[in-house]
A = this chain, B = another copy of it.
Amino acid sequence: MDKDMNVVIIGTGNVATILGKLLVSKGHKVLEVVGRAKQKATSLANICGAKPILDFSAITDTADIYIIAVSDKAIEIVAKQLILKNKLVVHTAGSVSINIFNMPGNNYGVLWPLQTLRKEMETVPPIPFVVDAVNEATYVTLLNFTKTLTDTVFRANDAKRIKLHLTAVMVSNFTNHLYALANDYCHKEALDFKLLLPLIEETVNRIKTYPPHTVQTGPASRKDVTTIANHLGLLKPHPTLQKIYHLMSDSIMENKPL
């Protein structure tokens, strides 16, 4: 049953939408899209060729896999409303335990897309999936299913998954915040943020080939305290940015293992 699974998607947000598109593009059948908001459920159901379901008690029990793609806080509430027997139920969260599923009747697991996903995406980017399962038989089923969606599947238990989530926050959320701070600064100083885009892209291109610490450049890397002092002076009107500049530069200058 690793090909052409029958799937129910619970949720209508970014992850649910992209997973829905991906599932359909890989030949799976989305039977139902479950959501509280009629318009959202209908909209995603239409995209997936599925039936919109607003009432949890009306969810079909004929699917092979039930994917709970709702906010972290809502996962447990949703799981408790799912009345199924011997079905595979997964959530899609990086930082929620697999043990949230206290459903003795079902097989369960985690299917976490290690990617930043937005509804509006026209093409689905490459998504590594981090998976976990309550037992080996379920793991094999989930693994075979996930392999139809991606080239990269990584098994991680709760402890490993939360660490991966932490690194994802660092390399995606924090870097995006640096972009946002720089964009804001450019706006205030009448500079064009778009000038920085080739540099931003190249910074990422490099680390596909070189370990990042081997390509570290900049004033802190060469201990150019004059330039650092000039920059910190310029940042006096921007105290948060100044603090971040200070800490990041110190950390680069430490140049030692964590």
Contacts and interface: CB of A to CB of B under 8 A. Distances in A.
Copies of this protein, total: 2
A196 to B, nearest CB: 5
A49 interface: no
A152 B192 CA distance: 11
A221 B173 contact: yes
A207 B212 contact: no
Contacts of A212: 176-177, 179-180, 183
A168 B193 CA distance: 10
A1 interface: no
Contact of A167 (B116, B196, B202, B243): B196
A206 B116 contact: yes
A147 interface: no
B186 A182 contact: no
Interface stretch (A50-58, A83-91, A134-142, A231-239): A231-239
Chain A contact residues, majority secondary structure: helix
A245 B215 CA distance: 22
Given A196-B171, A205-B125, A181 B251 contact: yes
B216 A241 contact: no
A172 interface: yes
28 contacts: A95-B227, A114-B195, A116-B199, A118-B215, A125-B198, A125-B202, A127-B198, A128-B198, A160-B189, A162-B230, A162-B231, A165-B227, A166-B235, A166-B245, A167-B196, A170-B181, A172-B200, A172-B202, A174-B248, A175-B175, A176-B216, A177-B251, A180-B211, A181-B251, A184-B213, A201-B204, A240-B254, A244-B247
Interface of A: 72, 95, 114-116, 118, 125-128, 130, 152, 154, 160, 162-186, 188-189, 191-193, 195-208, 211-213, 215-221, 224, 227, 230-231, 234-235, 237-238, 240-241, 243-245, 247-248, 251-252, 254, 257-258
The 3 closest A-B pairs by CB, nearest first: A173-B218, A179-B212, A180-B212
